[in-house]
Chains A and B, each alone.
Chain A
């Protein structure tokens, strides 16, 4: 049976080819990492439950877009049903960082007038010696584009993977509570589920979040 949830957020994972979108999602969902990168098919979409404040369960609907980078009309099906976007670039491939601005613009143009909450992720932080993007410039870009945060992540070493997802979810939640995310008719990026209970009685089968 489906776990009871109070909010459902659609989150799409975007970014250039080979920045590691599937590995990132796989690490988060399955807790695994394929060293030799033998799983090009990745996972298409997944569900994860998060608990924030006591009694608040958020159902994250996560969309992997690997393989669609060049086929934007296709990936738009996912953008349309998302309220959050994790934009990935590869810290060891400068050009993938240079493309962040274009991705951001394109998504905003497409979902307009709906709101999209972004988190910028510098991926493959384990490749420290091959780093081509400084943390400060990535942070500056995230700030300039009004993103929720910039996080450096290694799916290989499992560093900050959950943090990235939790950050975007938390930001969506807060913005919604502040009334900044309207829900237009027929849009399913953010859905309100069962009302929030004051006491947190039943333990979640798949609670993932240790943050408060």
Chain B
């Protein structure tokens, strides 16, 4: 009898899975097209809590899921003696797992969703970048004036902040006070990010100066990388990597924006702001090229 019951249960679950698959497939079919047709302005009902999934998806998944559960699991629910709220929780978990799984399997998301995803990564990494710059400025640069540590500071480093860190404070100010907010304002409208880059084109020139100073900074670093002062600062910051790695961050970051813009462009075919994105990409590539050229020039002519 137990085996029989188990069999029944198994059949039940199988039926449920099939139902669910059918539902999801239907959903996937229905979703891709309408989103593309309606494209430019996705509605924004207040229920847009989860930044990863557009409201539309969330609602659809919820309702369809409830539907399939109601259909196929009456027995199971009765036997679970759970309260209503508990049931909803369980379903919620299930829904999240399933939806992420189905994304993985199908690999076809709407362009809007993809753009949001890229935008989210840009903003998150921008925040981390700003934090890291600040940690370097406070944990190393400011510490060079700390009387408690002055004994550890090798003479060669005295009054050399400008050389070692270049204009990193300027870069930090630009990103923390301006650009991060600009980007955050684009979370819901990724296609507007092109305009952000174009608008701040002049501000990005700070990188040119930073990179031009880089060889001088590196050669100074090489002369005192082992000193107790830096070791002390690194220890306090709990950084796994030394200052030299962090001094490369701005260069590293600058090379990433163009990758992101290319990615956004991929999903923006036919969007009205596509020319802005292209303009932004061209501007970032131009900047990289001139930074690259000046680093090349310096490598040939001096400082090293």
Contacts and interface: CB of A to CB of B under 8 A. Distances in A.
B259 A35 contact: no
A99 B32 CA distance: 38
Nearest to B122: A41
A1 B235 contact: yes
B263 A40 contact: yes
B187 interface: no
Nearest to B292: A71
B255 interface: yes
A2 interface: yes
Contacts of A42: 256, 259
Contacts, number: 91
A67 interface: yes
Interface stretch (B74-82, B136-144, B152-160, B238-246): B238-246
B163 interface: no
B118 to A, nearest CB: 6
A73 B292 contact: yes
A40 B259 contact: yes
B260 A40 contact: yes
A114 to B, nearest CB: 13
A170 interface: no
Nearest to A37: B263
Interface stretch (A74-82, A89-97, A122-130): A74-82
11 contacts: A2-B240, A38-B117, A40-B260, A47-B240, A66-B256, A67-B258, A70-B292, A71-B255, A76-B295, A186-B222, A188-B244
Interface of A: 1-2, 35-36, 38-42, 44-45, 47, 61, 66-68, 70-74, 76-78, 81, 186, 188
Interface of B: 103-104, 107, 109, 114, 117-118, 121-122, 125, 211, 214, 218, 222-223, 225, 234-235, 238-241, 244-245, 248-249, 251-253, 255-256, 258-260, 262-263, 288-289, 291-293, 295-296, 299
Q: What 5 pairs between A and B have smallest CB-CB spacing?
A: A67-B255, A73-B295, A73-B296, A186-B222, A71-B292
